[in-house]
A and B are shown apart, each in its own frame.
Chain A
Amino acid sequence: MEKAFIEMINTHRGIIYKVCNLYCYEKEYQQDLFQEIVLQLWKAFPSFRNESLRTTWMYRVALNTAISNFRKEVKKPEQQSISRAEFQIPDISQFPDEHENLSLLKQAIQQLTKIEKAIIMLYLEEKSYDEISEITGITKSNVGVKLNRIKSKLETIIKSIHHELR
């Protein structure tokens, strides 16, 4: 089971990286959140029944952990653990080719609320309304309404960032 779990984490590590990057801005917090998500996934792994897509399930756990159960103040242990020292979460700024667009996107998304971040992330991942509804618990019709609101909010934010840059 451990092998299968490690394989799943590695195959879909991008999902966890993205959630960590979206919800935490400091490296240490990102690593803590990463660990917490991995732990939650591990705890739930034996009962995962393939009723939903594996990625949908991973998004659900990762977003639930990031939004509802991750306490910011329980962080920063005095000593760096082995796992902290041995892995780094790739940051958006690490990719120089698309740096400008990506950092603009990151900057804009950072101004959204936690719930809005989750919804827009799932939209950018091209998840269907059904999947977004399944992950967040919002009705399918409400997903559309919310997405439209978030899109226009995001456009406004991007415009204002552009305006500031000029």
Chain B
Amino acid sequence: MNLDELKTAWQEYDRKLQTTQTINEKVIVSMIKERSSARYSKVRREYILGFIWMLICLFMGCAVLLGNPFDYDLRIQYAPTVIFCGCIIILLAAMIRAYLDLQNITISHNNLDVSLKKIIAVYERPQKFLWYTVIVFLFTQVFLFPLSFLPHSIERLGLWVALAERLIPISIAVLMLFIAHKLGAFKERHKNKFKEDLSELQELRSMSAELLS
């Protein structure tokens, strides 16, 4: 079978496809509605839950900053809460941006090359950015927040005992993170998803490179 025969076979296939039954009007309409609503509700649900959780965290952070429930005396003691609020605001902004990007992403006006590059950019940006923010967030919560109570502890217990005392909540936080990690709180759902995203990104990259080569 040579290439001309391939072309003839393909054209025959094309001709036969055109003789197949037309698609029912209602089916096309239901297809559009079904897919749009399914996709919209899924994305919407995920983002709404994310927004609510982050707003609650932000509210609590702001309450600490404004109400001073921990009786902070020094400005430096507020630093972990400020970083916490900053991280939440950054994550919120990243979420809003990603949401808008997803809403606006249109593959119909671009050629394949441009579409691939746009999608790669959408994939890459939040991964790195969120990773750094989450590291800062966790570091602040696990180490800096317990240390913000250090001045009071020093007043009560003296430097070395206070330091030892502050190690207790830090150890508990580290232990809880470790247990959560071991129980698969981060691993099962997010790692697999992350792996899938990475492999998809790799595939997109190789396709983009293939177009250029």
Q: Give residues in A with beta carbon < 8 Å to B.
A: 2, 5-6, 9-10, 13-14, 17-18, 34-36, 38-44, 47, 57, 60-61, 63-65, 67-69, 71, 73, 81-83, 86-87, 90, 92, 95, 97-98, 101-102, 104-105, 113-115, 118, 124-126, 134-138, 151, 154-155, 158, 162
Contact = CB atoms under 8 A, between A and B. Distances in A.
Interface string B188-206: 0000000010001000100
Interface in B22-52: 22-32, 34-36, 39
A9 B32 CA distance: 12
Contacts of A10: 22-23, 28
A80 B200 CA distance: 27
A13 B11 CA distance: 15
B211 interface: yes
B68 interface: no
B207 interface: yes
Contacts, number: 157
A8 B162 CA distance: 75
A81 B112 CA distance: 30
A136 B111 contact: yes
A137 B211 contact: yes
B115 A64 contact: yes
A134 to B, nearest CB: 6
B155 interface: no
11 contacts: A2-B29, A9-B23, A36-B35, A63-B112, A67-B112, A82-B30, A86-B24, A90-B17, A95-B12, A136-B112, A158-B6
A13 B114 contact: no
A113 to B, nearest CB: 6
Interface stretch (B78-86, B101-109, B132-140, B145-153): B101-109
B12 A98 contact: yes
A13 B23 contact: yes
B115 A69 contact: yes
Given A73-B196, A124-B7, A13 B1 contact: no
Contacts of A14: 14, 17-18
A13 B25 CA distance: 13
B112 A118 contact: yes
B92 interface: no
Nearest to B36: A39
Contacts of B26: 86
Contact of A105 (B9, B29, B35, B204): B9
A71 B207 contact: no
Interface string B37-81: 001000000000000000000000000000000000000000000
